[in-house]
Structure 1
């Protein structure tokens, strides 16, 4: 069956995958890689899945803990072949990558974890970073996993608000005069 689009065979899919992986901000899972690769109507899912497996097998990419990353070999070979990808495909990829990279960068800068304490309680550790490093880390005592999960979810949803409100509370001179 004839397919529409610019990408038509497994080799072209491999070039596309390497192009994407060389530009993604951090390792990604299979569904994200699938979404980014399906930017051209000519990409067949089954050929894509085989191409990804072969790229891992040949050492062009790694798969660790469910996340794919490009290797130096993959980066070099992909760079040599990326000129064969049509401009329109690269343009679509770059637009999709901008969105995904924004999410990946934010997720790398906003982290939470729940740590057990010797007394059976828990600590919710919430961290906010920027390009220069850590901006704020808050550790709060939690009596159960539900409370720790709720704190973590709230922080993940609004880390900037938490940061700004902590700063406002610490820098508010009127409160310190009243005491």
Structure 2
């Protein structure tokens, strides 16, 4: 197993796998209300069996080269994650998603972790387009897309039904050549 440092603050990015279902469920229980503000992940992960099933679904996606799931640990505690929700090497496109417990907000963890995923997608896997999809009401997620240098390409009005209410989705993206150009300026 590998761990990638996210900086000098004790944060690490690691694969999140089925054998970690208990830790994942404990994390989801700590952050359930906050994480569930904009995404359905806490509704999907309700108990140990569903936590294990969710992690297994991403292990299966990784085996099929269709997605990947990584946890963000801070001082040894799982506090959030990033993922390739969609990963399509044939088309050269992927979509990154994220979540974070409230206690870990404001440290730049998601931005740093997502940047590592984009670096890998562009440099190692040759991805051409990296997308970020967020609820139009999820300002922190949209701010991450902005910090990553992504451009807002669309607003899909009332795209998805979540907890009885229709929500708009914003589509943000960065192309590989733009990512590389911005990275050389940093």
The interval holding the TM-score normalised by the smaller chain is: under 0.3
What TM-score does the superposition give when structure 1 sets the normalisation length?
Answer: 0.24
When Rg is computed on C-alpha atoms for both structures, the one with the higher figure is 1
What TM-score does the superposition give when structure 2 sets the normalisation length?
Answer: 0.24
| Larger fraction in strand | 2
